[in-house]
Chain A
Amino acid sequence: MKKKKIDLSNMSALLVLIVLCILLSIAEPAFHSFANFINILQQVTVIAVLALGVNIVIFTGGIDISVGSVVAFSGIVMGKLVVEGGMPSIVGVAAALVIGAACGTFNGIMIAKFKLQPMIATLAMMSMARGAALTLAGGETITGYSDGFRWIGIGTVPGTQIPVQIIFMILLYLLFYYIMKYRKFGRYIYSIGGNEEATRLSGINVDKFKTLAYTLSGLCAAIASVILVAKLNSAQSTAGQDYEMDAIASCVIGGTSLLGGFGSVWGTFVGAIIMIVIRNGLNLLNVSANLQKLVIGVVILLAVLADSIRNKAAKK
């Protein structure tokens, strides 16, 4: 009874990651240094935090393609308030988080209450949030943040070389892991993805939890935005272009089913790292970006194929 069940859906992604790391270590000695390990974790932060939120939406059987635009919108609002409005950084951060959560909640209400298809509702938000960012800032780059704020993006843990953003990311992942595995909320989210009607008929307020999933996705986008602005010392209306695709790809590589109901928080983490490791490794090898895209595509296919082959085998 107490035998630990090994979640195989994480395994194939982890296996891909291990193989990738071994191959890259052989091809490029600079790859397996501690400093590079830290670089990879730092580079993965933004995508990993985005993917965390998108992942929860995908668990419910939905999708959120607005997160890249929400990154830009919440970042611009923060930049405007802090740099141009002269407000304290903490107010700017709070405003960004509120904006992100609000965009997500709006998505959620459109989808849960008004029954819009998730792809359509978030497509609209993708355009609206980007448009709002462009309207507010145009082509302007909003720079000039306090050192205290920039610490979020470039500060290191005292006495080490470890950037604090990595700590934020890991704490966030631990929190979400706990919520998804040990709180009722997590169970409800998976159940909605598994069979929405059965969940509703079990007396669960499906609309509420679906909306909350999108709220969390928007919130994660805003957190990613805060980290990004702090890291680059700039808020831009063009930030976060195509990030939604990286986030979704991370979830898929990590074994999350786009049909909903299945996937794990850590699988997605591994998925995001795989994407960054490929870019990092190919940079080190001085391979052109065009080829990087190709390789990432192939890896997505391999990871998903591995899953589907394993599922087939399990059925037999």
Chain B
Amino acid sequence: MGNSRYLVEMNDISVEFPGVKALDRVHFNAVPGEVHVLLGENGAGKSTIMKVLAGVNTNYTGTIIWKGQEITARSVDEQRQRGVSIIFQEMNLLKNLTVAENMFLGRQPLTKTGNIDWKKMNQDARALLDSINSDIPETVQVSALSVGQMQMVEIAKALSFHCDILIMDEPTSALTEKEVESLFSIIQKLKSEGVAIVYISHRLQEILKIGDRLTIFRDGQYINTVNVKDIDIDQMVAMMVGREMTDYYPKVDVAPGEKLLEVKNIRQGTVLKDVSFYARAGEITGFYGLMGAGRTELVRAVFGADPIDSGEIYIKGKQVAIKSCEQAKKLGMALLTEDRKNQGLILEFDLNQNISLPNLDTAMGGLGLDKNKETENNQRLADSVRVKTPSLMQKAKNLSGGNQQKVVICKWLNTDSDIIIFDEPTRGIDVGAKAEIYGIMNDLKKAGKAVIMVSSELAECMGVSDRIYVMHEGEITGVIGTEEIGNLTEEQVVGLATGANKKMSEG
């Protein structure tokens, strides 16, 4: 203890939020030149402890020893001066400013006359972007970038502060393969320069690839710190969830029923080019593709969230015109959006209000909204998908990602829809909660619903879906039938998703 081998030591750190003990006397340390992975389910407290170290969350108890001296983390600025740099999970970029402006926000280089030195700022930004092998132009507005590119800008920005420790909170969740590769080479470079890297991720494969040491939290408790080379994925999962996870993708056999939804020749600008598909009762229909393939746009268009240029939609064989989400809902459709926080939930409202919203009829008594009836109904739904919360009066923003997703599921279970579309249902969610969500999807399938799942995770898509449509640049480039899923290799499917091959019929 207290020896200066460590760059930082955090001991007995506790953080309490109203009604929740987010961290309970946990420990964490880091040595220079290592990649230290923080692992745990959502809500385990990984981000919370890093926010303490970065000076974002100053309301903690416990001790922090920085380079052998005890310190108090009082503010982001102070911690940054000490050498702590953090890349947040949420994007903190200002969309209407350029890449370079964002990178040097509040510390723009000045000319002698006190004006912003645009030339120098752009040059510096360029140099930083080059150093991470990124070809993002430094002078474009951030609003024009993809989510993955924004993430790269965040990384470049963090590197511009010369730091001893760099915290990356799920840096790869929105990156393409190529971008992930270059991120890893950056990490290697920083390691060799003696920078300690804290890496938070749910992608277990990645952890094996780049991690040196691993600290595991569960429900705000410290579980263990181990060397990555001494451990395999099953052990990691077991420590995370506190039990052995045997069947990762439990598949249920149900004979598919009628086509509940059929879409023919749907077109939308340059985003969707003549897309046709169907979804049957008692089946999970998967949509796989890379970022920007048009999957989210497709399901939004079908749900009436965005207008289409042409195309036909049939529900139970009957042609329908869907011009609004309201109509889609009335026709028995549900859409669980990709972006839970901004589109799925009203974060400042309590769970009751969120769950009831799509179908307030379930909360109506004789004299209007009946709080007791509402709570009763919603509690039943919340229990059925095991939402972890002290009460339904809790605000949605206080829940972890996995629990938020379950609340969104409750919203739509409340409507008793027949066609349920999940857009990236497990993004940013820990393994335990993932398995539960697959379970819910299987239950829906057994109940004879048509389930549609959009996913960027190939393993998940192949493990859960009964049939898969592969999309590339607004087109369906592959249709994979039930029998084929087990036979195709991952490389073959990726080949379809990158547009290298086409396969337009099942079997």
Touch test A–B (CB under 8 Å): yes
Chain A 198-230, CB-CB to B under 8 Å as 1, else 0, gives 111111110000000000000000000000000
State in angstroms the CA–CA spacing of A297 and B375 once bound together: 42
Contact yes or no, A5 B393, CB < 8 A: yes
Residues of B within 8 A of A194 (CB): 346, 348-349
Which positions 29-74 of chain B face chain A at CB distance < 8 Å?
59
- Are A197 and B343 closer than 8 Å at their CB atoms? yes
Say yes or no: is A182 at the interface (Cβ < 8 Å to chain B).
Answer: yes
Smallest Cβ-Cβ distance to A186: which chain B residue: B369
A178 engages B357 (CB within 8 Å): no
A183 x B348 contact (CB < 8 A)? no
Instruction: Name which residue of chain A comes closest to B304, CB basis.
Output: A203
**Does A293 sit within 8 A of B, measured CB to CB?**
no
Q: In the bound complex, how far is the Cα of B350 from the Cα of A190, in angstroms?
A: 12
Name the A residues within 8 Å of B344 (CB-CB): 198, 201
Contact of A181 with B369 at beta-carbon distance under 8 Å, contacts A1-B375, A203-B326, A204-B357 already known: yes
The verdict on A262 contacting chain B, using a C-beta distance below 8 Å, is: yes
B330 and A203 within 8 A (CB): yes
Q: Which residue of B lies closest to A5 (CB)?
A: B393
Contact of B305 among A186, A200, A204, A314 (CB under 8 A): A200
CB within 8 A of A316: which of B59, B326, B342, B391?
A: B59
Residues of A contacting B391 in the complex (Cβ-Cβ under 8 angstroms): 1
Task: Check if B293 is an interface residue, CB within 8 A of chain A.
Answer: no
* Contact among B326, B342, B353 for A204, CB-based, below 8 A: B326
A268 touches B (CB below 8 Å): no
Least CB distance from B487 to A in Å reads: 37
A184 within 8 Å of B by Cβ? Answer: yes
Judge if B360 is at the interface, Cβ distance under 8 Å: yes
Looking at the assembled complex, report how far the CB atom of B51 sits from the nearest CB atom of chain A, in whole angstroms: 14
A229 to chain B, nearest CB (A): 34
Bound Cα distance from A204 to B391, whole angstroms: 26
The answer to whether B353 and A191 have CB atoms under 8 Å apart is yes
Contact of B329 among A197, A203, A262, A316 (CB under 8 A): A203
| B342 (CB) vs chain A CBs: closest residue | A197
User: Within 8 Å CB of B357, what residues of A?
Assistant: 187, 191, 199, 202, 204
The verdict on B400 contacting chain A, using a C-beta distance below 8 Å, is no
- The verdict on A195 contacting chain B, using a C-beta distance below 8 Å, is yes
> At the interface, yes or no: B347 with Cβ under 8 Å from chain A?
yes
Tell me if B346 and A187 are in contact (CB < 8 A): no
Chain B residues lying within 8 Å of A186, measured Cβ to Cβ, are: 369
A184 touches B305 (CB 8 A): no
Is A261 part of the contact surface with B, judged by Cβ < 8 Å?
yes
Q: How far is the CB of A210 from chain B (nearest CB, A)?
A: 13
Q: Are B358 and A203 within 8 A (Cβ)?
A: yes
| In contact, B369 and A184 (Cβ under 8 angstroms) | yes
A198 and B345 contacting across the interface, CB-CB below 8 Å: yes
B420 contacts partner chain A, Cβ-Cβ < 8 Å: no
Residue on B with the closest CB to A195?
A: B346
A181: B residues at CB distance < 8 A: 368-369
Q: Which residues of A contact B496 (CB under 8 A)?
A: none
Cα A5 to Cα B498 with chains together (Å): 54
Contacting B342 at CB < 8 Å: which of A182, A191, A195, A262? A195
Which chain B positions have C-beta within 8 A of A199? 346, 357
Q: B393, A191: Cβ atoms under 8 Å?
A: no
24 contacts between A and B (CB under 8 A): A182-B368, A183-B369, A184-B364, A186-B369, A187-B353, A187-B356, A187-B357, A187-B360, A194-B349, A195-B346, A197-B343, A198-B342, A198-B345, A198-B346, A199-B357, A201-B337, A202-B411, A203-B325, A204-B325, A204-B357, A205-B324, A261-B349, A262-B348, A314-B18
Chain A contact residues, CB within 8 Å of chain B: 1-2, 5, 178, 181-184, 186-187, 190-191, 194-195, 197-205, 261-262, 314, 316
Instruction: Give me 9 other A-B pairs in contact (C-beta within 8 A), A195-B347, A203-B330 excluded.
Output: A182-B368, A184-B369, A186-B369, A191-B357, A195-B346, A198-B346, A201-B325, A202-B358, A204-B326
Q: Which 3 A-B pairs have the closest CB atoms?
A: A203-B329, A182-B368, A194-B346
